[in-house]
Structure 1
Amino acid sequence: MTKADLIEKIAEDTGISKAMAAKALESFIEGIGQALKKKDGKVTLVGFGSFSKIRRKARKGRNPQTGEAIRIKACNVVKFRPGKKLKDAV
C-alpha cells in the first residue's frame, strides 16, 4: 500500500475529501517525527505498535565492492515494535 492508497482509504472510510485526508496523514507523520526528535522520543499507539528512537554505536563494516574495511559512524535510528492486535492480524 502506498501513501496515495492510504489517503484514498482514509477518505473513503471517514467520508472526508482526499485533500483533508492527505492533510490529516501529513499531520500524523509530522507529529511522530517531532516526538521522535526529542531526547527520549517514543510514540505508542495502543494495539498498533510503538515507535522509539535508539542510538546505534559506531562500528566497523566492509565495502561490498572492494572488501575494504570501513568505519560506520554512530547514528540515531527509529525502531518499530508491533502491538498485539497488529501481530494477530498479520
Structure 2
Amino acid sequence: VRRLAKRCDVVTFDHEHVPPDVLAALTDDGIPLHPTPEALRFAQDKVAMRRRLSELGFPCPRWTVARTADEVAAFGADVGWPVIAKTPRGGYDG
C-alpha cells in the first residue's frame, strides 16, 4: 500500500474500513489523504461521530448508547417507537 501511495498525488477512500495503522503509516510518509485520518476516525466510530456532531451543534436524531435490550427498551419508551439500533463500529451501508 505504501509503495502504491507514494506514486499517487493524493489518496482517497471508498469506505471507512481502513485500518488506523495504515492511515498512520501513510501520514508518516507525507502522503496527502482525503478525507483525513481524523475524519475517518469519526466515520469508523458512530458514537464518536454522534458526539462530535452534537458538540459542533449539528442537528442529530435523538440517540444513546445502549448495551442491553433493557437499555434499548428504555430508550424506545422515552423517544417513541420504532427505533433503529446500530453497532458503533463495523457494518457497511453499501
Highest Rg: 1 or 2?
Answer: 1
- The structure whose residues are more often strand, as a share, is 1
Using the size of structure 2 for normalisation, the TM-score is 0.28
Using the size of structure 1 for normalisation, the TM-score is 0.29
